[in-house]
Amino acid sequence: MPKKKTGARKKAENRKEREKQSRANREHVDVAKHPCNSNMECDKCQRKQKNRAFCYFCNSVQKLPVCAQCGKTKCMKSSDCVIKHPGIHSTGMAMVGAVCDFCEAWVCHSRKCLSTHACVCPLTDADCVECERSVWDHGGRIFRCSFCQNFLCEDDQFEHQASCQVLQAETYKCVSCNRLGQHSCLRCKACYCDDHAKSKVFKQEKGKAPPCPKCGHETQETKDLSMSTRTLKFGRQAGADDDDDYYDGASGYDSYWKNLASGGRDRQDDYGEDDDDEEDEDEEDDEEEEDEDDEEEEDDEEGEEEKAADSMAGLKLDG
């Protein structure tokens, strides 16, 4: 007969089951609606940001802190409070019990919130998949991508979701074979056929789609998604229009043909005019040089004639 379980053994098993269930529920929490990720407007600088203990911009403490677990701003007469306040409704810093290390928000002094929030905080590993910033590195809220379920900051949520359904391949074929991939993983951006979607590491639950054999994320059928393949735009084919008559698929030098069609001829004419002007200037320079040479020759001839006349005059005097 099996041994009877002791009370401590039963408590330990129940605790493990609760932790497992809380981890499973944490993946399905709507992060945008959770109190620790709600909107907050600073009392001092009037800037909107995520719910946090201290303002991200001016580091001031808010007058009415909001609990990151239950979302309340006033603690009523209750017996669950760690700090008893009979007959008094506590607000402000009198309601605060702790600061969460993950979501950077106040937790009220309720025994339930203090003991459960740190374990089930939905922003435990909330690093943006695009910029890799954590909650403490930016002042905005945290969201999840509706396709790959990764965390996104407020700056990158729209840009990421616009390009999330793009496969890292040029076809819809399975990664391991040439058959059509019927199951797509939006985290790995890959397709798998029925045979290769089965994994020995990650078990498939009944009534659910098979998990991705690479990362374990739940796959979806490719036909239910608006998936697109990766396209490569080469440099010499960038900006080419199909309707252009001058575009040739073999050459593809789009900018070259555009220059020729628009302003290339004018530039060639300008170049021709410049060449003509240079030729005219060269001819003028040559003519001036020739005139100078002729004048020098004439001066030399006159000098020789004068010398000859002087010698003749000397001969006559001697005679």
H/E element, 254: helix 254-259
pLDDT of 54 strictly over 80: yes
The predicted-structure confidence for 218-257, as pLDDT tens digits, reads as follows: 787 877 676 766 665 555 444 444 444 444 444 455 666 6
Residue 136 has pLDDT above 70, yes or no: yes
Strands 220-221 and 183-185: antiparallel
Q: What percent of the chain has pLDDT over 70?
A: 68
The model's pTM: 0.52
Q: Are 214 and 200 in contact (CB under 8 A)?
A: no
**Average pLDDT of the chain to the nearest whole number:** 76
pLDDT (average), residues 270-280: 56
pLDDT class of 276 with cuts at 50, 70, 90: low
Among the residue ranges 33-37, 38-42, 152-156, 255-259, the one predicted with the least confidence is 255-259
Q: pLDDT tens digits, residue range 113-126?
A: 898 888 888 888 88
Position 107 confidence tier, pLDDT thresholds 50, 70, 90: very high
Diameter over CA atoms, the chain? 169
Residue 175 has pLDDT above 70, yes or no: yes
Question: What is the rounded distance in angstroms from the CA atom of residue 51 to the CA atom of residue 99?
Answer: 12
Over the stretch 185-221, which tens digit does the pLDDT of each residue have? Answer: 878 888 888 888 887 767 777 777 788 888 877 787 8
Q: Which residues, at least 6 apart from 20, have a Cβ–Cβ distance to it below 8 Å?
A: none
Query: Encoding tokens for residue 279?
Result: 């030729």
pLDDT of residue 246: 43
Per DSSP, the three-state class of 180 is strand
| Across 247-271, average pLDDT | 56
Which tokens sit at 122? Answer: 């939905």
pLDDT at residue 204 in the model: 76
pLDDT value at 100 more than 80 = yes
Q: For 211, which DSSP code?
A: B
